[in-house]
A = this chain, B = another copy of it.
Amino acid sequence: MSWPDLPAGTGFGLANLPYGVFSTPGTAPRTGVAVGDSVLDLAAATGDPVHATGSLNAFMAQGPEAWAALRQRLRAWLTDEAHRSAVEPHLLPRRDVSLHLPVEVADYVDFYSSRHHAENLGRMFRPDSPPLTPNWQHLPIGYHGRAGTVAVSGTPVVRPCGQRKAPADEAPTLGPSQRLDIEAEVGFLVGVGSVLGARVPLADFSQHVFGVCLVNDWSARDLQAWEYVPLGPFLGKSFLTSVSPWVVPLAALEHARVPPPARDVPLLPYLDDADAGPWGLDIALEVRLNGELLSCPPFREMYWTAAQQLAHLTVNGASLRTGDLFASGTVSGPGEDQRGSLIELSWGGREPITLADGSTRTFLEDGDVVTLTASAPGPDGSRIALGEVTGRVQPARWTATDRQEGRR
C-alpha cells in the first residue's frame, strides 16, 4: 500500500514508476517520476545532480544495478509512512508541469518487425512481388532514422513538403504531402553502451536497455514511395518522430513478458531466443484520431522481439551509446481493427475510414490530432500505462511563391 492518494485504476501506480523530464514555470527541466496524478521531483527529493541534468541519459548510463536500487528506494519512500514528510513536498500535480523530451537521443533505428504490417505494405508498395522480401523471416529488418527530429509528445506536426510523383505523372512535383500518415510503435532506450567491434548477445538485453516509450513515426507515404528505392526511407520519415514523455522501466514490464509468435524458419543462433527467455511483450496499443478509437494494435504479435533487434543491431560490431533509441516498426495485428497505420486502415487510400461525425479519412487532414496510448499487465491484475504520444497536424508552410515553383 502506498501513502500517496492514487486514483482507482491508475496506470501509474507503484508497479510502474516511469521516468520523465519536467519543469514548472521558471524552473529548469529535471527528472521526475510519475506517481498517480503527481510527479515526484527526483532532483529535489534525492539531491542527486544526476537527476538535474535535464535528460535521463546520465542516470540511464549508470546501469541496471543503479536502476534497480533507485526503483527499490522509490517504492520504500512511497509505501513507508516514515518517509512521507520528507517526500510529500516533492510531489507536484502532473497537470501543473511541462514535460520535455526525456532523453538526448544518440542514434535512432527503426525496425520493421510486424509481419502483418510488412505483408500489408509489401502488397501495396510491391504488388508484383511476394509481400515479404526473402530476408524478412531471417533477420529483423531495420534502418537508421533521424535522431535530431525525435521530439516529445505534443510537438506540432507541420505537414511536410517534398517530391512526389504519381505513376501517371511525367515528372515529380514539389508540394505538401497528400498522404500524411502515422505509425504506432514501441521504442526501446539504451542506457548502457557497448564497445566498438564487440557484439551484444541476445541474453544481455536487460543489461543495456533501460526502458520503453511509445513512438509515432509520422510518415509521408507519397514522399516515401518516390524516394525509397534503392536506399530506403529518408524525407518521408525524417520530418518528425514523436515519443511519449514517460519512459517505463524494463523492470515494470516483467508481468508483460510473453513468448513471441511461432517462427516460420529456423533462426541463426545469435537470434535464437529459445534459451534466453522470450522478450515478447503483451503491450496493448490504442490509436485515436480526434479522440475516436481507430485501432488496437497488439504488440504481442510482433514477430521479432526487442532483444532480437538489439542482438542483430550489434552483430556486426556496431557499438551502442547511452540514448540510442530503437523502435519496433509499426505494430499491426492480423485483424483489420489492429492496424497501426492509416495506409493499412484505409488500404492505401482505397477504402476510406468513416468517423463518428460522418466525415471520412484516408490520410491525415490539417488539424487532425492523433493520440497513441498503451498499457501492459502489471501485478495482481493491474495495468501499467505507457503514457501517451500525441500530435496535431499543422498546415504545410507553403506559400504562393512555393506553389508557383512546385512545378517547373
Contacts and interface: CB of A to CB of B under 8 A. Distances in A.
Contact of A316 (B139, B223, B232): B223
Interface stretch (A22-30, A156-164, A278-286, A374-382): A156-164
A160 to B, nearest CB: 4
Interface in A305-338: 312-313, 315-321, 324
Interface string A168-190: 00011110000000000000000
B231 A112 contact: yes
A382 to B, nearest CB: 37
Interface string A217-230: 00010010011111
B163 A126 contact: no
A143 interface: yes
A62 B172 CA distance: 37
Interface in A115-129: 122, 125-126
A112 B405 CA distance: 25
Contacts of A228: 230-232
A195 to B, nearest CB: 10
A135 B226 contact: yes
A70 interface: no
A161 B316 contact: yes
Contacts of A406: 268
Interface string A235-247: 1101110000000
A364 to B, nearest CB: 15
Contacts of A122: 230
A126 B229 CA distance: 11
A147 interface: yes
Given A147-B107, A163-B138, A230-B125, A235 B318 contact: yes
B231 A233 contact: yes
Given A146-B107, A408-B266, A408-B269, A231 B141 contact: yes
B197 A316 contact: no
Contacts of A158: 196-197, 317
B226 A161 contact: no
Contacts of A321: 148
Interface string A125-157: 110000001110011011111111101000110
